[in-house]
Structure 1
Amino acid sequence: MTILVTGAAGFIGSHVCQRLLARGDTVVGVDNMNAYYDPALKAARLALLSDKKGFSFHQLDIAEPGALAATLKGERVSGIVHLGAQAGVRYSLENPRAYIHANVVGHLEVLEFCRTLPDIKHLVYASSSSVYGGNTKVPFAEGDRVDDPVSIYAATKKADELISSTYSHLYGLPQTGLRFFTVYGPWGRPDMAAWIFTEAMLSGKPIRVFNHGEMWRDFTYIDDIVDGVLGVLDRPPPANGPRHLIYNIGNSQPVHLGRFIETLESLLGVKAIREDLPMQPGEVEKTYADTGALEHDFGFKPKVPIEEGLAKFVDWYRQEWRPEGKRQRARPR
């Protein structure tokens, strides 16, 4: 199969590409390589893929009308994993237009590209746990109300779900949206807690702890996420049922921020210097995935506990990333 992966130079996208190539798929990767965080990190991820048999890459903005069709003319794409997006809840408050462009217009252009593909079997796209907003019912289930997003980022992801549902209704396009819950692991994003805290603690700098540490996150290790993505990709919605489905994908075991910090302290051998702060706009106190539907339909069972996953991240950061001085600039804007 030929699989298009958008956001191929991103954290999740690069891992998905590696796994697809390892099992023998042909992978076409696209990414705009923007500077939300250091493009050197994205280039380093791509370097791990560039010499793999069956991989090709194109730098482009998926939100530009017709860019995908023009660039990939002649490719017999049968599956798409759409992960390309402008990430980050807090940055969406500063630059909302970037999110509408990348996440809403970009999503629309992917759907329009699908309509040109005679062999398309399945589009799997990234939604987000952020669509649940300030939901106080836990765990979060797919049937819960998601009409009150608390950030622009969340609003764009909810919009993507609605647009996808409409395209499936109008054109029969088989799609599955996955609501990701706080993904972490090697080659992760420098705007996420594991990276921010590790970098600060090793440098002897304070870490900012929002809501005075009273936060829980359903941290999900990257390998478990990739297992779920590929399992879903291989089983599109049946022709005789709904053509657009949505699932939570998470660890289903929320971790208190204090435990997260203590685990890093143990792994790094340093005590965190905490700067306790109020809750930030756009943030929520707790995320907790009900993954019963994904387990029932696809056999999804996350395997990696937080202690093991953070140990793998710390090992990667210390051994593969931190030693190279030129790799100290991978910070978000």
Structure 2
Amino acid sequence: MGTGRLIIDLDAVVANWRALDDMTTCRTGAVVKANGYGLGAANVCKALFKAGVRQFFVAVAEEAVPIREELGEKPDISVFSGHMPGDTELIRALNLTPMINSIDQLTHHFETLPGHSFGIQLDTGMNRLGMEAQEWGAIAELALAQNPTLVMSHLACADEPDHPMNAYQLENFHQMTDGINVPRSLAATGGILLGPEYHFDLTRPGIGLYGGLPFETATQAVELELPVIQVRELAEGEVVGYGNTWQAERPSKIATVSGGYADGIARILSDRATLFHGDIPCKLVGRVSMDLLTIDITDLPDVPRKLSLIGPHQTIDDVAKAANTIGYEVLTQLGARYNRKTFGK
């Protein structure tokens, strides 16, 4: 097989959800946007629904289609982007709950889908999505009279527990919502880890479900194995790859591996990434190209059939650190060409 194999462990996703749920005394939903953070939203939601999840969150309405096809009308599906122009028929047909972000969205929702469920998203300082305090104050009475299902906000710096922004946003959320008779939600994965005062009525774990930071004790949910296509021996002084950026300083053995930036292996990992053969690390040498990597296997006792980029010895966040990015990006960019093998629920 000429493509890499992405191994997805749904039991690990469920275990991570249960671990995060156990940290709270409120309801725990699940964020499954970006196709379940790249792992397949339908399969992820099916496993989590069996574990007890009844509320899922997606970024845009279209992401709800495979979830409804898999689970039918049973779970609640909320849409972070709210009620966008052109979404009305899909929101109606799939019975989605848009998280309304502005007065314009609220007006559009009431005009086009009167009586249909909705939630409210508030901006407590991130300045990204949601109504600011002045907007909310102007329409809160009207909105609350229509029985929204949830009022939520999102923390900007929850992955930094000591950041003053966390307490600032918590105070703003209290000021904007205390006294309302509607379920409230502030915490995603990082917010759950900040403690009970951030949990309110519902938490919305995302990256922690899939094995990423800031949930340091998470069970890893993915492995990525890349097949070796060819092995060649180089004399001292020979070069490898585009631009001749790597030159052998000794007689070397180089494995050409299937995988590249078209598969979500970022070009910045050129000469920086490490792959593994069992317990033995092997350096990526030369540039990451569209479809291929070149790996120094000189010190291996035998020629491998495959090498691992993500696995027991290297997490998505380890790869992210080498690429000067975050685990979210590594995970969601894992490409469509991989042969996906899903285990678990």
TM-score where L is the length of structure 2: 0.30
Highest Rg: 1 or 2?
2
Structure (1/2) with the larger helix percentage: 1
TM-score where L is the length of structure 1: 0.31
